[in-house]
Structure 1
């Protein structure tokens, strides 16, 4: 698929903030609103052990400013903020913030371990700041000047929108100036890329980051960001969600056709294919976090549990995100890593597939039923020849795939391939002869290429259920 022609700012083009898709961990899938400093540090200590594979961003998701994160409405959650209407960490849950330095001590602790520090916010200005008409730091404006009371978030009652005016820009400037002082590396902004799409606030936050002087990854959420906005989000942010929230299932039944919350793994073959041409050069369509392993003690959806994805579905999830070069953000409780989840996160070859310079793309192979089988290939940077193929079985039964490697997007000739999950080496062959498990994947890398003396005979091939 041809690359999209996009306009990228000069500074970003010269040195992208996210030269590869960000990899790391986020607290939402395991802790919801409730994480505290001790729990965050415990997860970060495990993340430090994984950083050699690329897992580096440690992100506190929504609720870090709530005194009572279990409250059922705004008044009982008790938002903590300073005298300028900026949210600050709750000092009871994050005691290192009690000295008035906010998250700086915690960010310093993270940085000392070779990791990067991230936060989640919901776009907007707190309603309490507007009601009290607090002054905006570094300006002559006040909170009521910056508020767009008609632009509230449909699923979060804490904020008004920020107006598209100098006061609104001043508010976001003051916010990002504070975050830069704390040492922030990653900012996830929610309720902004859809429900509704807030073009003005995307531009304001991106501008505030530039003014802050600190390289901060901007992640837009929740999605689905519409393709009609691709150029703008590509220019302003490094990540943008391409679908509604992903949770631990292959597919979910919804009451209404237009409702895709929550998503299972299955729809992302289409979502990622649709956004494929916008991937790269410091911008990464985001397929959401990886809900694997232990989703405890307070997951953002449902009861505490072990992920309901099968082992094959989890490998499919990791393989698709890796070869499509989506950001890879773990959602599990890292203090409770089981052997299967550790196998996923410790696979250096799969992480490298996601992180290296190059491109992945879907293959529309002749004779294949896309409701049964999908194929992606990856081409390393500086090469014209794909060296990795992912063959996915979308059905509930084992699937036999027999076809020339050329039908699966690889070069003609006798190929020696290695399975990146099992380490198994396939016998040299000019065609595939694979059995793929239900909802499973064969993720294969060319270990050796032998030129064919003549093109192999071509005949129609298609996968067969068995």
Structure 2
């Protein structure tokens, strides 16, 4: 039987993650400010998760230092990661993240936490006892198959029965804190991406069956329901049954950043994975690197997103039609009005949250055409994407789509393009890298 609570992730999760804008150096004050913004401006549109990403246990870490193997790391007496009180003052005196999570819950939001697979090297070096067992850290871990980009963790040896006990112990702690969402990292295949053209240039860690099942089992044993997200990404679709059995969402690519070549490549990945989306289990196209990104990992510090407005529309249209989880990467406290408008389009959010059928209907060298359907409301959505660097005219004979559409009530969800239908042929000319989504009511 699956560990999932039946009420978790019945639609693609919507929220915010601290990675794109703050990397490993986010503070409690910054996290709270973003949570307050979500509660006041986005919660009404369905946004609910605020996720604390990598580094909450690393004192004085920055995006240039966290990959070093000798960077200071904080653990408790059982070798479990604990928050840094300099960055998270409310965690002092053994309180952990509970005070911060209580703050998030009081706003009516859900709290997410990033974890790495394995056990801290520091715990192995100190030979920390594994809670509830007679074993110590050195007996359940080895220093092979380590994460290629975070060098502070050892691999758990699941041939030892108490390797599972370590995962059980950390989720016991997270349940006490009140965690609602887990982003488990370095458990899934990833491909390093060349941002200039989106092509893969190398490979990293494989699909970690033991860790994924161990984390899944630990969640099922703890006293709190938690949504599970797997990261980074690039698994084969042949793993779909294992993914659905053990996770609510899983990344389909390496970290996605604000470069047109990466977005164009993501169109292919979304087309591959969209047919496998189902309630409770969602292929994840990664965070939305839009808005202001002060201390992120890619593209420089204190900068706005590299995406043009047209590319931003394409990003949102693609993620929503593919029914990917929506995780904003910007510093919400500095959102401009345009970016805020991208996040509060109720019709497009409806596509993402309510459609139960979606797929790429037509692939052309210069453009893609997507179709999605809300079978309850009997609404049909058609998305048109210009992949070329020049203006492109697209036409679609509506007799050729799989579902009948009504022509008396049609509109473009952003109000940017007119509806032009000539003898049942739908026509549009899109600017370079631009897209449009039309809703056909029954």
Superposition TM-score, scaled by structure 1 size? 0.86
**Aligned position for 1:219:** 229
Question: Whole-Å Cα distance in 2 between the matches of residues 414 and 51 of structure 1?
Answer: 33
- Is the contact between residue 311 and residue 433 of structure 2 (CA under 8 Å) also seen in structure 1? yes
- Is the contact between residue 357 and residue 380 of structure 1 (CA under 8 Å) also seen in structure 2? yes
Q: 1:424, CA displacement in angstroms?
A: 6.2
Question: Whole-Å Cα distance in 2 between the matches of residues 167 and 149 of structure 1?
Answer: 17
Q: How many residue pairs get matched? A: 421
Indicate which of 303, 306, 329 corresponds to 2:304.
306
Indicate which of 58, 65, 72 corresponds to 1:78.
72
Q: What is the 5 A alignment of 1:89-100?
A: 89-100=83-94
Question: Whole-Å Cα distance in 2 between the matches of residues 435 and 357 of structure 1?
Answer: 26
2:167 matched to 1:172? yes
2:345 matched to 1:352? no
Indicate which of 18, 32, 38 corresponds to 1:47.
38
Q: What is the 5 A alignment of 1:168-317?
A: 168-194=163-189, 195-251=205-261, 264-296=262-294, 298-304=295-301, 305-317=303-315
**Deviation digits for residues 197-248 of structure 1, max 9, x if unmatched?**
2100000000000001311111111111222322211110011111111100
Structure 2 stretches lacking a partner, 5+ long: 190-204
- Is the contact between residue 118 and residue 153 of structure 2 (CA under 8 Å) also seen in structure 1? yes
- Is the contact between residue 386 and residue 410 of structure 1 (CA under 8 Å) also seen in structure 2? no
Question: Whole-Å Cα distance in 1 between the matches of residues 58 and 334 of structure 2?
Answer: 25
Question: Whole-Å Cα distance in 2 between the matches of residues 11 and 134 of structure 1?
Answer: 29
- Is the contact between residue 69 and residue 152 of structure 2 (CA under 8 Å) also seen in structure 1? no
Report the 3-state secondary structure (helix = DSSP H, G, I; strand = E; otherwise coil) of the residue aligned with 1:171: helix
* Shift in CA distance, 65/16, structure 1 to aligned 2, threshold 3 Å: same
Q: What is the 5 A alignment of 1:423-438?
A: 426=419, 430-438=424-432
Q: 1:52, CA displacement in angstroms?
A: 1.0
Question: Whole-Å Cα distance in 2 between the matches of residues 269 and 318 of structure 1?
Answer: 12
Indicate which of 61, 66, 89 corresponds to 2:58.
66
Question: Whole-Å Cα distance in 2 between the matches of residues 306 and 182 of structure 1?
Answer: 34
My pick for the range that moved more, 437-446 or 85-94, is 437-446
Compare CA radii of gyration and give the structure with the larger one: 1
Q: 1:276, CA displacement in angstroms?
A: 2.2
Question: Whole-Å Cα distance in 2 between the matches of residues 361 and 73 of structure 1?
Answer: 38
Q: Superposition RMSD on alpha carbons, in Å? A: 1.9
Indicate which of 101, 109, 116 corresponds to 1:107.
101
**Aligned position for 1:388:** 381
Report the 3-state secondary structure (helix = DSSP H, G, I; strand = E; otherwise coil) of the residue aligned with 2:15: strand
Q: 1:410, CA displacement in angstroms?
A: 4.9
Superposition TM-score, scaled by structure 2 size? 0.91
- Is the contact between residue 291 and residue 330 of structure 2 (CA under 8 Å) also seen in structure 1? yes
- Is the contact between residue 66 and residue 150 of structure 2 (CA under 8 Å) also seen in structure 1? no
Report the 3-state secondary structure (helix = DSSP H, G, I; strand = E; otherwise coil) of the residue aligned with 2:409: strand
**Deviation digits for residues 149-179 of structure 1, max 9, x if unmatched?**
2231122110011111321100000001100
Report the 3-state secondary structure (helix = DSSP H, G, I; strand = E; otherwise coil) of the residue aligned with 2:310: helix
- Is the contact between residue 375 and residue 408 of structure 1 (CA under 8 Å) also seen in structure 2? no
Q: 1:275, CA displacement in angstroms?
A: 1.5
- Is the contact between residue 377 and residue 387 of structure 1 (CA under 8 Å) also seen in structure 2? yes
Q: 1:386, CA displacement in angstroms?
A: 5.3
2:417 matched to 1:419? no
Indicate which of 128, 133, 153 corresponds to 2:147.
153
- Is the contact between residue 32 and residue 61 of structure 1 (CA under 8 Å) also seen in structure 2? yes
**Deviation digits for residues 394-448 of structure 1, max 9, x if unmatched?**
111111122322335552664531111127663666221211121111111014x
- Is the contact between residue 70 and residue 152 of structure 2 (CA under 8 Å) also seen in structure 1? no
